[in-house]
Chain A
Amino acid sequence: MKELSLNILDIAENSVKAGASLTKIKIDEDEDRLTLTITDDGCGMTAEVLKSVTDPFYTTRTTRKVGMGIPLLKLEAEMTGGKLEIASRHEGEYPDSHGTEVKAVFNKKHIDFTPLGDISESIATLIQGHPETDFLFIHSIEGKHIALDTREIKRILDGVPINSYEVINWIKEYLNEQYS
C-alpha cells in the first residue's frame, strides 16, 4: 500500500465484517515508533483461524482464495524492523468479551517505513461506508491527541444520517483541523 492509512482502512473493514458494534483505531507515535492498534468487539476468531490469518492463502471471502490484508500489514511492519501481533477471543468461547485486536509496530526511521498519509480521508471513508457501526479514533502524536467518536457525533445528529455528504465532509475537516 502507498500509505499506512490505506492499510488501516483495509484492516478496519475486517472488524466491520466481523460484526463489530465498535471499532477502536488507535495510533501512538513518538519520534521513532508508530504503534497502530485496531480493537473490535466483533465475533472474534477461534485459535485455529487465528493461526492462519497471517498466511496470505487464508481468507474469509469466497470470490477468491487469497487474503492479503493482514499479511500485507505484517510484511510492511516487519520490513521496518517492527512486528504485528493479533489477539482474538471467539464468541463461541467468550460470549461476553469477544473481539479481536490487531497491533502493528513500525520503526519510523527505517527507509521502508510507509508514511501514514491521509488518515482523515480513511476515517471518513470508513464512516461513509459503515454508518450503522461505531468508530473511535485516537491519534496521539507529539503530546497532541486527535480524536473522533462516532457515538458522540450520532448523539448530536439525533437521527440525521452520519453518512450524509455534509456530515462526512465536516468529519474530514474536523480531523484535519485537529492536526493543523
Chain B
Amino acid sequence: MKSLAELQAIKEKMKDKIILREGVGDIRVVVGMATCGIAAGARPVLNTLVEEVSAAGLAEKVTVSQTGCIGICQYEPIVEVFEADRDKVTYVKMTPEKARRVVEEHLKGGNVVSEYTIAGHKE
C-alpha cells in the first residue's frame, strides 16, 4: 500500500540529490498540452517521455515540461527539443512508441530522429 510514510522515504532519499540537480539540465523537452494536443494524445506521450528519461538515467540532463498551443494543431501531439548551441527540433504526430525512440536515439544518443520531425514527416 502506497502511504505518506513512503513519500517521506522518497524525500529522504532525494534530499541529497537536489543540490546536484540545480543548474543542470542542458536539454529541454517541451510537450504541447493545450486542448488540441490533449485531444490528439499528448498525455501518454508526455508520460512516456517522463518515464523513459528517468529510466535512461537522463533526469539530471533532461527536463520535460509542458506548454500551451504551439500553433500547428494539425501536427499534434508535438514535442519540441531545445538544446544549447543546436537548432530546435520539432517532432510531430508523436506516439508513446515514437517518444521512446526519441529518448533513446536523440536525448541519449545525440542523433535527431529525422523521420519524426516536421521536416521529415510524410502524410
Contact = CB atoms under 8 A, between A and B. Distances in A.
Interface in B34-68: 34-36, 38-39, 43-44, 46-47, 50-51, 53-54, 59, 64-66, 68
Contacts of B46: 125, 128-129
B54 A160 contact: no
Given A121-B47, A165-B54, A64 B68 contact: no
Q: How large is the interface on B (under 10, 10 to 19, 20 to 34, 35 or more residues)?
A: 35 or more
Contact of B18 (A153, A161, A173): A161
Contacts of A64: 69, 71, 73
Contact of A9 (B13, B38, B51, B70): B38
A91 interface: no
A63 B47 CA distance: 25
Nearest to A164: B14
Given A72-B35, A156-B8, A168-B50, A9 B43 contact: yes
B49 to A, nearest CB: 10
A61 B1 contact: no
A170 interface: yes
B14 A125 contact: no
Interface string A142-157: 0000000000110011
A6 interface: yes
B11 A157 contact: yes
B116 to A, nearest CB: 22
Binding site of A, secondary structure by majority: helix, strand, loop or mixed? helix
B24 to A, nearest CB: 13
Nearest to B71: A63
Interface of B: 1-2, 4, 6-8, 10-11, 13-15, 18, 33-36, 38-39, 43-44, 46-47, 50-51, 53-54, 59, 64-66, 68-71, 73
Q: Which 8 pairs between the two chains have the least Cβ-Cβ distance?
A: A129-B66, A63-B71, A165-B54, A174-B2, A69-B35, A68-B35, A160-B11, A160-B14
Given A72-B39, A165-B51, 12 more contacts: A10-B34, A13-B34, A68-B35, A122-B43, A128-B50, A157-B7, A160-B14, A161-B18, A164-B14, A165-B59, A170-B6, A173-B2
